Amino acid sequence: MKFDDYRIDEEIKKSIDKLGYKKPTDIQYKSIPPILKGEDVLAIAQTGTGKTAAFAIPIIQVLHERKLKNRPDGVKCLVMAPTHELALQIHSVFKSLGKNTRVNCYCIHGGVEQEPQIKQLEKGVDVLIATPGRLFDLVSQGALNLHRIEILVLDEADHMLDLGFIKDITDLMRHIPKKRQTLFFSATINEKIKKLAYSLVSNAIRIQISPKDPVAKNIEHAVAFIEMDDKRFFLEYLLKEHSDKKILVFIRTKVRAERVKKAMDRADIITDTIHSDKEQAERNLCMKNFRSGELKVLIATDISARGIDIPDVDYVINYDMPESPEQYVHRVGRTGRGRQKGQAYSFCSSEEKDLLATIEERLGKPIERIEISKNDYQYTIESAVDKSQDWKKLMKEVYQEDLKRAKKKNKSKK
């Protein structure tokens, strides 16, 4: 089936073609028809499957038709996303697809002044993409009215729960009409997510896209056993060996991310960090530079980078092993997008071997090992530019605390 076969406006089809979409992905093929019919949808699909377009295309079509009939003004569709970066990315997709229609969209999030957002909302918005915190702030202040909402979308719902937004979501339901279409998208499903989903949807069409191999076939992934104190030396080596490549480095906490950046600075390697402690303007500039290729190495935490689409990432490096198999899939999924090849390397210390075993169990196969001889291991450490030991003790202490929290969290899930 092709996009031309759908009952959607020709202007939207032109926008789809310009974005390079040739035929629907599985999630798009299964989601677009029921959404066009006005049915509720509960979809479980991993990142990188094209789910943003899966709901954006039919929503723009439905609202475009309704605007032609001079429906009353007011926000008609609300899309909730867990992070600023993902909200902005969703907004970009809606803006591109709805470029030649009557549908206008806008994005609100925290970290920036409220006044410009309030002024834009007063001018009129059809599709509002928002993070829960800023959305609830504006609603509680009376600056945003949601009584005309016809379509509600929760994207990356599992991540919203992880970030503690469940109260904001449930409180917000009091401000939204009960008679509405609800689209619920999540990368994973568990009892807590099911409970939230079924409290929001009504007779929903359930869609689950579960590939046998959760990691794309065009991603080569491998793991090297490197002790915590030595990871910085191997990262320095790897970045220098691939200085012309676009590399995304995942680190568990924002404190550790900044410390690793400083270590790379001392080795004359240009990097930048993205995490929740940074001002929104800094985060936007960082992402802009990384997307364009002006910045080659980005050090990121999971919260700031989950779900966002960054083109042409050559390597993903798990400097810290992820806390869960789902996080592993999300991380390595930042490379090897579409038909491009990707590489994913993980640094696993002695303390992290249990995390590696859990990930391999979920993948259903072992991750390829990179064998490092004792001589090569020692040479990498000795050849590093910065051999300062002061920061190591601090990093190890912070990491051990992080690992304790991760294990405690995993136990509570079981």
pLDDT, tens digit, 9 for 90 and up, residues 155-207: 988 888 877 788 888 888 889 999 999 999 988 788 888 888 888 899 999 99
3-209 shares its CATH topology with 219-413:
yes
Instruction: Name the class of domain 3-209.
Output: alpha beta
Question: How does residue 43 score in pLDDT terms, banded at 50, 70 and 90?
Answer: very high
Nearest Cα residue to 57 out of 122, 4, 20, 13: 13
pLDDT, tens digit, 9 for 90 and up, residues 315-336: 999 999 998 887 888 888 888 8
Give the percent of the chain with pLDDT over 90: 53
Could you write out the DSSP letters of every residue in 241-257?
HTTTS-EEEE-S-HHHH
Please state the rounded mean pLDDT for residues 53-59: 95
Cα–Cα distance measured from residue 93 to residue 33, given in angstroms and rounded to the nearest whole number: 19
Domain boundaries, the chain: 3-209, 219-413
219-413: in CATH 3.30.70.3000: no
